[in-house]
Chains A and B, each alone.
Chain A
Amino acid sequence: MKATVTVMLKQGVLDPQGEAVKSALGALGFAGVNGVRQGKVIELDLADGTTEADVTAMCEKLLANTVIESYRVEMG
Chain B
Amino acid sequence: MKAAVLVFPGSNCDRDLAVAFRSAGFEVEMVWHKEADLPAGTDIVGVPGGFSYGDYLRCGAIAAQSPIMRAVARHAEAGGYVLGICNGFQVLCETRLLPGALMRNAGLKFVCRMQGLRVETSDSAFTAGYAAGQEITVPIAHHDGNYVADPETLAMLKAEDRVAFRYIGSPNGAMDDIAGVLSANRRVLGLMPHPERVVDAAQGGTDGAAMFKGLAEALVAA
- Pick the contact of A16 from B65, B93, B106, B149 — CB < 8 Å? B106
Taking Cβ atoms with an 8 Å cutoff, the residues of B that contact A are 57-58, 61, 65, 93-94, 99-101, 103-108, 146, 148-150, 173
Kindly supply a per-residue 1/0 record for chain A positions 1-32, scoring 1 wherever the CB is within 8 Å of any chain B CB and 0 otherwise: 00000000100011011001000000000000
- Pick the contact of B105 from A13, A16, A68 — CB < 8 Å? A16
* With contact pairs A67-B100, A67-B148, A67-B149 given, residues A17 and B57 touching in the complex (Cβ less than 8 Å): no
- Pick the contact of A68 from B65, B101, B173 — CB < 8 Å? B101
Total number of residue pairs linking A and B with CB closer than 8 Å: 36
Give the number of residues in A that approach B within 8 Å (Cβ atoms).
12
Taking Cβ atoms with an 8 Å cutoff, the residues of A that contact B are 9, 13-14, 16-17, 20, 61-63, 65, 67-68
Residues of B near A13 (CB, < 8 A) are 103, 148
Whether the pair A14, B61 counts as a contact (CB closer than 8 A) is no
* A61, closest chain B residue (CB): B65
What separation, in Å, do the CA atoms of A61 and B100 have in the docked complex? 16
* With contact pairs A13-B148, A14-B173, A16-B173 given, residues A65 and B105 touching in the complex (Cβ less than 8 Å): no
